[in-house]
Amino acid sequence: MPGLIQGVARTAIVAGTATAVSNRVTRRQRGRWAAQGYDPYAPRSASYAEPPPASPPPPASGAPGPDMSARIEQLKQLGELRAQGVLTEAEFEQQKQRLLNG
């Protein structure tokens, strides 16, 4: 019987330690998210304000060429991804600059 009790005690200690570590990591991560103004566990309500859709850049003189039309379409898609919350504002700006400069 002593071997069985030691095994159960060891399992309880390991499980308790794992739970404590997991809870600490969760608290630290939530603190970081809170500092950034983001909490993935916060419920989304109807009052959640969607950012306005991105407006395309003003058209160049004359009709847009096929390259410009493709860029405008990609910018619209980026704006939709940002509105859905898939892209952050910084990621959106980075991808927009990549499209406009390349």
For residue range 70-90, list pLDDT tens digits in order.
888 888 988 888 888 888 888
Secondary structure of residue 37 in the 3-state scheme = coil
Average pLDDT of the chain to the nearest whole number: 78
Encode pLDDT of 2-41 as tens digits. Answer: 678 888 888 888 888 888 888 888 888 888 877 887 766 6
Check: CB of residue 99 under 8 Å from CB of residue 78. Answer: yes
Cβ-contact 51, 83 below 8 angstroms: yes
DSSP 8-state assignment for residue 86: S
Ordered alpha helix ranges (H), the chain = 2-36, 66-84, 89-101
For 64, how many CA atoms within 13 A lie in the half-sphere containing its CB?
13
